[in-house]
Amino acid sequence: MMISLLWTDVMVWILVLALIAWGWVISHSPQVRKQWHMIFQSNIAISCAVILLFYLFFALMDSVHMRFEVETTEGSEKAAEVQYQADMVSLLDQFFKHSIENTERTYSSPFATEEYTKSIVVDDSGVSKQEYLPLKHAGIDLDKGESSQSDILGKSLFALLVGLLISDLLIALHIFWRSRVSRISFMEQIQQVIQGKTQLPWRTAYFTFAVLIVLFTWLYYLSFSYHVLGTDKVGGDVLYHSLKSIRTGVLIGILTTLVMLPVAVFLGISAGLFGGWIDDVIQYLYTTLNSIPGVLLIAAGVLVMQVTMDNNPQWFETTVERSDLRLMFLIIILGITSWTGLCRLLRAETLKISQVEFVTAAKAFGVSKMAIIRRHIMPNLMHIILISVVLDFSGLVLAEAVLSYVGVGVDPTMHSWGNMINQARLEMAREPMVWWSLFSAFIFMFVLVLAANLFSDRIQTVLDPRNNS
């Protein structure tokens, strides 16, 4: 086995490292710690954070790609040089091997044991008739003709128990760790959690966590014997598609920020602090970029990217690498087109801060420009940056769907909610309707975006100085 990282994998892990480093740095500032403490004091905020972490976990699981050795059959002579399979598999794929392999012929509805449409069968006596064919990989534990209801119910109960067990175990572990840190007994800590007397609303967090774990265990366990969310046109498992799409959505949301943030911060602060021609040039830059309608600018960028990629087929070897490269370019294009809003805000705020007494005093003491930026300006811009990052995240997840529909989104072969919706448009016109693809994409997207929106609301109420009055 060989770990082989795609470009976006590298980017996402860099971001994770950066986040950890940032968290370590700010955890030393008592003021910032207090702010975050306040953010998480809200029940909604903490359960949203748990949900967001859950999504992030899936995105990260799906961001470790590896290749396996080709199993050589001709004895051990070739063992010296190891051959690797061409297609990459992510950690998530490893857990969902059964969903990848157990494809059906065509559509089937959630929990169905038969195909969705009738097909023509010729029986032994040569008479052809139309009937629903049974699915190959659904309800495998069933006897012929047995109803799937009791089987599903039994398996659900089992999954429920296992899920509760796992989540309780993990929660107990966390409570134990916290009781060690705060030096009170384990039972006391549990009591506090149950009565809701902890400083942060851990009860809500644990509850959300347990619900998510139970839900996932249920989906996962049943996915071995049923297609829980149905299958798509070519018989692929919709649950697996939706889970794979998490990575695309989350990556577009957070990596675009990674690309956009340095540009916006650097230009915004320079414009606000230095003024003069630097300010003029930067203002001209963002007014110009801003005046082009967003979708069109992105479309233009993507069209050019397609042409460039067609001209340079040597950049990628496999289709996975190709769609990944396209995702990376899309993220860069989105980053280039979306820094203007934040830049304008930062410029205005820097302008305001640089007039305040403490900055004037620092200047008078001969503190260098860099030190002023680091010690006085950056800390005062943090809330703006944070609010806009979280706000942009949900916007970008939604934008991915629209861009995929317009035809300038991610690669059509890539798993993404946008592509799922795009296909669903035709499926809804079928008779009877094929609703489950759209439904799955809808639920997965809605929960993520709603959590991000509610979380950003909380950040805004806590961090925005205008709300303190």
Partner 1 sequence: MFAYIIRRILYAIPILIGVNLITFVLFFMVNTPDDMARAQLGAKQVTPELIQSWKEEHGYDKPMFVNAKAEGVDKLTDTLFVQESLKLFVFDFGFSDAGRDIGNDIKQRMWPSLELALPTFIIALITNISLALLLVLFRGSALDTSMMIVAVMIMSISGLFYIIAGQVVFSKIWHWVPISGFESGWGGFKFIILPVLIGVFGGIGSGVRWYRSIFLEQINQDYVRTARAKGLSELKVLFGHVLRNGMLPILTGVVVVIPTLFMGSLIMESFFGIPGLGSYTIDAINSQDFAIVKAMVFLGAVLYIIGLILTDISYTLFDPRVKLS
Interacting residues with partner 1 (CB under 8 A): 284-285, 287-293, 295-297, 299-301, 303-304, 306-308, 311, 394, 398, 401-402, 405-408, 421, 424-425, 428-429, 433, 438, 442, 445-446, 449-450, 453-454, 457, 466, 469
CA distances for 22 relative to 81, 174, 216, 240, 380, angstroms: 42, 23, 31, 33, 16
Tell the smallest beta-carbon distance from residue 350 to partner 1 (Å).
21
Task: Please say which residue, 105 or 322, places its beta carbon nearer to partner 1.
Answer: 322
Tell the smallest beta-carbon distance from residue 206 to partner 1 (Å).
23
Amino acid letter for position 350 = T
Task: Please say which residue, 12 or 398, places its beta carbon nearer to partner 1.
Answer: 398
Q: How far apart are CA 191 and CA 195, in angstroms?
A: 6
Tell the smallest beta-carbon distance from residue 62 to partner 1 (Å).
21
Q: What are phi and psi of 200, to 5 degrees?
A: -95, 150
Task: Please say which residue, 164 or 345, places its beta carbon nearer to partner 1.
Answer: 345
Q: Are 136 and 225 in contact (CB under 8 A)?
A: no
CA–centroid distance for 80 within its chain: 40
Task: Please say which residue, 114 or 427, places its beta carbon nearer to partner 1.
Answer: 427
Q: How far apart are CA 148 and CA 140, in angstroms?
A: 10
Contacts of residue 51, defined as CB under 8 A and 6 or more positions apart, other chains included, come to 208, 212, 447, 448, 451
Tell the smallest beta-carbon distance from residue 457 to partner 1 (Å).
7
Q: How far apart are CA 418 and CA 248, in angstroms?
A: 10
Burial class (CB in 10 A: 0-12, 13-18, 19+), 380: middle
Q: Distance from first CA to last CA of the chain, Å, rounded?
A: 58
Q: How far apart are CA 331 and CA 83, in angstroms?
A: 33
Task: Please say which residue, 51 or 193, places its beta carbon nearer to partner 1.
Answer: 51
Amino acid letter for position 459 = I
Task: Please say which residue, 377 or 438, places its beta carbon nearer to partner 1.
Answer: 438
Tell the smallest beta-carbon distance from residue 299 to partner 1 (Å).
5
Tell the smallest beta-carbon distance from residue 339 to partner 1 (Å).
14
Read off the tokens for 224. 């071995």
Task: Please say which residue, 161 or 292, places its beta carbon nearer to partner 1.
Answer: 292
Is 47 strand, coil or helix? helix
Tell the smallest beta-carbon distance from residue 438 to partner 1 (Å).
7
